[in-house]
Structure 1
Amino acid sequence: MKLTIIQTGDVPAPLRERFGPYHQMFRAMFEATGGDFTYEAVLASDGEALPDPAGLEAIVITGSPAGVYDDLPWIEPLRGFIRAAYAAATPMLGICFGHQIMADALGGEVRKSEKGWGMGRHLYAVTARPGFMEGAPETLSVACSHQDQVIVPPETAEVILASDFTPNAGLAYRNQKALSFQPHPEFSDDYAVALAELRRGRAPDEVVDRAMASIAKPSDSADLARYIGRFFKGG
């Protein structure tokens, strides 16, 4: 299966040489699952044209420093792309900004949360188990980095991952072909720590310190990545 990775932002410049672009993080994540995937990247936030989603095998929409409410030339075309992909039942995954823009495009509400920054390893309750998450534990611990949240999910989505900080952290859509998560299973621990430290000055020191300390907790990112791989394989 070929995954078309829609890159909607890049690794911050101070970290880019060390960690590479986001689409490579996703390639590494999927390759670690042992899935038989091939890849192409579309740098949407750099102005590359979006393909016809009906002709794609599967779609991944990455994180971004942008918000769904930003007046950027590529965001409205991306909304149309998401709606067309949903209508065509093309398998589609969104992570962080991808999670938010999918919800926004499909009828939900997204905004900057009054709770402030979420970063570091957060613990999420598994609130539902679609077939691809059969056998999932009660909780998953995965890194995140965001201020915006899905406040109201689309009517066509079921919440499958939740926390007190992020009540709508994972959404499975009822067409069984669209899936999204607020946390980042593609982040390595080194990158999560470096990104949290980079936020110092923008986020309160105590939030950054707590985020960096949280990375010492065991990670379930590989498990979430495996569930995503099952989703793309149809079960």
Structure 2
Amino acid sequence: MSLRICILETDVLRPELVEQYHGYGHMFQSLFARQPIAADFTVYNVMHGEYPADDEQFDAYLITGSKADSFGADPWIQTLKTYLLERYQRGDKLLGICFGHQLLALLLGGKTERAKQGWGVGIHEYQLAPTSPWMSPPVDKLTLLISHQDQVTALPEGATVVASSEFCPFAAYQINDQVLCFQGHPEFIHDYSRTLLETRQEALGDKVYAKGIASLEQDHHGTTVAEWMMRFVAGDSKAV
């Protein structure tokens, strides 16, 4: 039986990128199609006010990345926070990526802010906490494509660190078997990251831009993280 995942899309792509990449929801659907656990996905763009009907049931809710700040005052962000808090209090499983990772931390009692470290771009490497059952296949170190200037600087009560680095100490965390979040972008591919770097070259500065471009020579564990997330959602069910 397939898992049913609700993707809450929190951004729209630059117009010149839509034809090739469509949107973050589509990127996640492409990513999860490359991992072995059967899952069906429905995308709702919450920036446009799209949400599931009250009677729709999902095994988990995934919040995507966004150009917006998780601590922003935009009305759609406030609506999303209310919706996610209801889901959390109901016991639903929540997955957060980048903006979603930061928003859930903020919503559940942590802290998110503009990082003093500056922009994180390209491929980044993280140390992993001791392996949990859902972290299969195992890896020694985690690498992911990243693009962020905000970070989680304090975890919610009860959260445990899953991945960290000196640059980003709270790069991934979980709260029991209900919440799992990653700062990095498992759904990104090298070409999309290269395009983002090129569009932000002036804002990044030559040094950060050059280092980010050079890092794209490496591979990353996006598909592995996709499988981890589906195993986390499935738990002990027959889906795994």
TM-score over 0.5 (shorter chain): yes
Does 2:157 correspond to 1:155?
A: yes
Amino acid at match of 1:20: H
Asked if 1:24 corresponds to 2:26, the answer is: yes
With the length of structure 2 as denominator, give the TM-score of the two structures: 0.92
Superposition pairs of residues 215-234 of structure 1, within 5 angstroms = 215-234=216-235
Whole-Å Cα distance in 2 between the matches of residues 35 and 90 of structure 1? 19
Equivalent residues of 2:59, 2:233 under 8 A apart: no
Return 129-138 or 106-115, whichever deviates more.
129-138
CA distance in 2 between partners of 1:51 and 1:177 (Å): 22
Cα distance in 2 for residues equivalent to 1:53 and 1:163: 41
Q: 1:217 to 1:106 in 2, by over 3 A?
A: same
Q: Which residue of 1 aligns with 2:96?
A: 94
State the shift of 1:37 in Å.
1.1
Number of residue pairs the alignment of both structures matches: 234
- CA deviations on 1:98-130 (whole Å, 9 max, x unpaired) are 000000100000000011100100001102322
> Is this contact kept in 1: 2:145–2:188, CA < 8 A?
yes
Match of 2:67 among 57, 60, 65: 65
**How much is the aligned-residue C-alpha RMSD, in angstroms?**
1.7
Aligned to 2:210: 209
SS of the residue aligned with 1:45?
Answer: helix
Structure 1 match to 2:183: 182
Structure 1 unaligned blocks of 5 or more: none
For residues 192 and 92 of structure 1, the distance between their equivalents in structure 2, rounded to whole angstroms, comes to 25
Identity of aligned residues (%): 32
- Distance in 2 (CA, whole Å) between partners of 1:103 and 1:128 is 21
Picking from 76, 84, 87, the partner of 1:85 is: 87
Residues 166-196 of structure 1, C-alpha deviations (whole Å, 9 max, x = no match)? 100001112x111000000111111111111
Unaligned runs of 5+ in 2: none
Distance 2:88 2:122 in 1: 31
Aligned to 2:11: 9
